[in-house]
Structure 1
Amino acid sequence: MKITKVEIITRASKLEELKQALNDIGVLGMTVSQVFGCGLSKGHTEVYRGKEYDINLVPKIKLETVVCEIPVERVLEVAQKAVRTGNIGDGKIFVYELTDAVRIRTGDRGPEAIMDTK
């Protein structure tokens, strides 16, 4: 069984919808961080008190999860559906194959380290 890490960077306003969609397919464990970044658009310009400012690092959220039992393609499909608006700034999804995982409490390794064994 392969262990895969999925990293989703998207709008903070989509977090609850994304979490619910992933929970619905059995993805329960996740880490969420507030991040700042820019993609191909390199940010945007805003006006504050009559002065123009370049905003080149845009606030986003990064949701990370590791799966082995749930098909990665299903995770990608559900995540895209939950966060896609069709506008610039929807974000990116990165997929990494992991060589190992360790549950610190028990010493379990591999898929057993991330599966729900209580």
Structure 2
Amino acid sequence: MKKIEAIIRPCALEELKDVLSKMDINGLTISQVMGCGNQNGWKEYYRGSEIFMNVLPKIEVSVVVQDEKVDHIINTIINVVKTGEIGDGKIFVSDVERVIRIRTGEEGTDALD
């Protein structure tokens, strides 16, 4: 199993949720996060002083899936959220050793469905 974490623009969240739902991908975790990368940030003025804000609001979407679904989900995420501009985000993929559904005690892929 793999965990896919996508850091995306907030404006792309609703469309991504809709597309993943149609693919029968459930069990999403969505978090509001702040971050910076090549996009760098922006300048603001506070009481006449210039302040450089180097973090921007982003959304982190996490999902754990079976290995054979990973490439398809990654390609789907890219197709939905890509604008071609700096700040589109990043996708991280990591191994998941074990998944347990607390309510039933099911493990592995049974716990994902």
Q: Find the partner of 1:100 among 91, 98, 103.
A: 98
Structure 1, unmatched stretches of 5+, are none
The RMSD of aligned alpha carbons is 1.9
Question: Which residue does 2:53 correspond to in 1?
Answer: 55
Q: Structure 1 pair 11/49, CA: closer, same or farther in 2 (3 Å)?
A: farther
SS at match of 2:106: coil
Task: Give the TM-score, by structure 2 length.
Answer: 0.89
SS at match of 1:71: helix
Question: Aligned runs of 1:1-118 on 2, under 5 Å?
Answer: 3-46=1-44, 52-68=50-66, 71-115=69-113
Overall identity of the aligned pairs, in %: 43
Tell me the amino acid that sits aligned with residue 4 of structure 1: K
Contact 2:9/2:89 (8 A) holds in 1: yes
Task: Give the TM-score, by structure 1 length.
Answer: 0.85
Tell me the amino acid that sits aligned with residue 78 of structure 2: Q
Q: Structure 1 pair 98/52, CA: closer, same or farther in 2 (3 Å)?
A: same
User: 2: CA distance between counterparts of 1:98 and 1:71?
Assistant: 14
C-alpha displacement of 1:70: 5.9
Count of aligned positions: 113
C-alpha displacement of 1:40: 3.2
User: 1: CA distance between counterparts of 2:62 and 2:96?
Assistant: 13
Structure 2, unmatched stretches of 5+, are none
